[in-house]
Structure 1
Amino acid sequence: MTETKLNEIHDHWVNNSTPMRYANKLERSEFLLKYVEKYVERKGKVLEVGCNVGRNLNHLYEHGYKGMTGIEISQEAAICLQKTYPKLADDAVIINSPVEDVIKRFLPNSFNLVFSMAVFEHIHPDSEWIFEEIARITGAYLITVEAEGASSWHIFSRNYKTIFENYGFKQVTESNCKEAGLEHYTLRVFKKVGK
C-alpha cells in the first residue's frame, strides 16, 4: 500500500466535507457542551479546528459563548455555515484554510478553549508539528474528541494524552463518547499547566 500524501488528505476534505450530514448530529454538540460548560467561562475565546458546517460552534454560541473562531478546509462547508447559522457567521471568525496555513498566525494563549472533534485524527504525519502550535495558542483548556485506535488511509492513530502532556498540559477528564453516537472515540479535556 502506498503511503498517503499530505495533499491527498487535504484534497479529500476539500472535496468531501458533506457539511449537511454533520449539521444533523446535534447529540455530539450537546455532549461537547457538557464538558465545555464545566471548564470554560462563556466570556472566553473559543477556537474549533475543523469546524465544518459550524454545528458545534453554533451550539456553544446558542448557549452564551461568544468570541468564536473556526478553521475549516472546505469552502463548501464554510459557505454552508453562513447559510445554516447566519447569526454565528455574523459574529464569528471563520477561516477557510488548511490548519497548517494559519495556525502560526495566532498569538500565544489566544484562546481560552481550543477543541477538535474527529479532526486531529486526519492530520497527516507530516503536519504533526501543528500539535505544538495548538498547545502554544491554547491559553487554558484543550478538548479532543478523536478515534485514537483506528487507522485507515486518512485516519492516523495517536495518543493525544501523550502528545499534549508533552506540550505542557495535564489531562483532567477522559470519557468514551458512546452517548454522543461516536463509538470508538475518546474525549479528553486538558488544562494548561500553570493556568
Structure 2
Amino acid sequence: MLEQRIQQQFFESADLLYQVAENLSRPLAVAAQMMVDALTAGGRVLTAGLGISAADATYMASLLSGRFEQERPGLAAMALDAQAQGYADPASALMRQIQTFGHPGDLLLLFEAQASGAAGALLQVAHGQEMSVIVLSGAQDDDWRATLLDTDVQLRVPHSRFARVAEAHRLLSHCLSDAIDVQLLGAAE
C-alpha cells in the first residue's frame, strides 16, 4: 500500500511536468531573455518567496551568483530575506528590501507556490521601483494577477497540490539557469 502511494507521487509529478512543458516553454524563453537583458545591462535579479518558497528563491539566487552546470563568472543575483528582523510579517520585510535594493533595470523573480496574499503588494513595490517581474506561481486564483503588467511574465503551474507546484518550480529554475547559460556562454560541449 505504501509503495503504491509512493509510486503515485512519481507518476503525478511526471504527468504534471509533461502537461505543462508545451505551455511553459515559450514564457520560460521570454523570462530567460528578460533575465539576460537585465543582467547584461548592469541590472540585478532579486529573488523572493514567502514561506517554503523562500528556499526556492535562495536556491535560484545561488544558481545565478554561483554556477549551474557550466563554470562562469557569477551573475548579479541575490535572495531577499523574508525573515528579516524588526518586521511584523515576512511580506513587510520583502517589501522594504525591494524598495531598498531594487532599482530601475533590476528584475524581481518571485516564487509563489502557495497563496500568501502578499504577492500583489510585492509586485506593486517592484513596479514602483521600475523593475521587471517574473512570477513562478501555482494553481491558486488570486487577485494579484491583475497587478501584472504586460511586460511581466507569469510561469503558472496549474496544480492543486503544493508539492507538485514546488517540484515544478525547481525544474523551472533549472530551465531558466540553463537558458541563461546558453545565451551567455553557448551550449556546453
Which structure features the higher share of helix residues?
2
What TM-score does the superposition give when structure 1 sets the normalisation length?
0.45
Q: TM-score, normalised by structure 2?
A: 0.46
Q: Which has the higher strand share?
A: 1
Indicate the structure (1 or 2) with the bigger Cα radius of gyration.
Answer: 2
